[in-house]
Amino acid sequence: MLKPLKKAVLPVAGLGTRFLPATKATAKEMLPVVDRPLIQYAVDEARAAGIEQFCFITGRGKTAIVEHFDVAFELERTLEMRGKKKELAELHAMQQEPGTVMTVRQQVPLGLGHAIWCAREFIGDDPFAILLPDDLMQCDVSCTAQLAQAYRETGGNVVAIEEVPMDRVNKYGVIDIAEDKGRLVSVKGLVEKPPIEEAPSNLTIIGRYVLMPEVIGHLAKMEKGSGGEIQLTDGMAKLIGTQPFHGVRYEGRRFDCGDKIGFLEAQIAFALKRPEMAAQVREFLKTYV
C-alpha cells in the first residue's frame, strides 16, 4: 500500500546572485510576482496537491521566508480595525497550521543533493515532494498535484519533465527514456548537465519531484558530481532499477524566475491571468511593443 504524499521540501538557501543588488538584503524567494512572493506560489501549489507539512532548507539571511508564513498580530489587528476584510482573509488563507512548518539550515552550499540530505530527519521514511521556487508554474491543475496523481498510479519516483532544444540540454538534468507512453515516460537513466553530443534525449527535469526516502541513503555518501557539487540527479539515478521511476509531461507553463527575463515574463503572464488588471496590462503593453 502506498504511503500518502504529505511532505514537501523547499530548498531556499541560494544567494540569488543573479538578482543583485535586489537580493543583497532580501531573499530571492521573497521577490514578488504581481503581489505574492515566489515562495508563496510554491507553497500554495503544494497545498493544492494535499501537502500538509513543509521543510524550508534555508541559509543566512532567509528569516523573512519563515516570518512570511507566521501570524502577524499587529498587522491583522490593524486590518481588522480598518475594515479591510479582503486583505485579512488573504493573510489567514496563507497561514500554516502550528507545527506544520520547520526549517533546516544548510550551512555550506554544496549542491541541491546536499540541501535535500539536510532535510533527512524531516523526511524520515515517507515519500516527499521537492519544489524549487525559482521554477514558477502556471497550471490549471497544480503541477505538484499532477505528480501526486502519477505517484498514486505508478508508485515510486516521479519527476516533472519538459522538452527543450538540444542546444540547451547541457543546462539540465536529462532523462534516458525506457518507454515513452505520452504523458508518462518510463526512465532508465539520468544525466546531470551532459555535453550536448552525449545527451540521451531532450527531455529535461524541472524543479518538481516526488521521491522515495531511499534517495537520502545515496545522497549521504556525499559523492560529488557535475560542477563539483552533490547532485540530486546522481542520487535519483541510483534508485532506477530498484524502484519505479517515471517522468511526467505536466500540463501548464514554467517560468524560470532565477533568470531576469523569465522573471519579467512571469510578471506579465500572471498579471494577464488576473481579471481585475488584465485589460489595463494589455493596454499599457501596447505602449512598449
pLDDT tens by residue, 165-213: 998 998 888 999 999 998 999 999 998 888 998 899 999 999 999 999 9
Judge if the upstream peptide bond of residue 109 is cis by omega within 30 degrees of 0. Answer: no
pTM assigned to the model = 0.92
Are 185 and 97 within 8 A, CB to CB?
A: no
Question: What domains are defined for the chain?
Answer: 7-285 (3.90.550.10)
Nearest-5° Cα angle at 193, 181 to 107: 115
Query: pLDDT tens-digit profile of 56-104?
Result: 999 887 788 888 887 777 877 887 788 887 878 877 777 777 788 899 9
What CA–CA distance (Å, rounded) separates 261 from 200? 28
User: Following CA atoms 255, 168, 229, 127 in sequence, which dihedral angle do they give, to the nearest 10 degrees?
Assistant: 50
Tens-place pLDDT, residues 133-150: 999 999 999 999 999 999
Task: Please tell me the distance from the alpha carbon of residue 174 to that of residue 192, in angstroms, as a whole number.
Answer: 6
For the chain, what is the radius of gyration of the CA atoms? 19
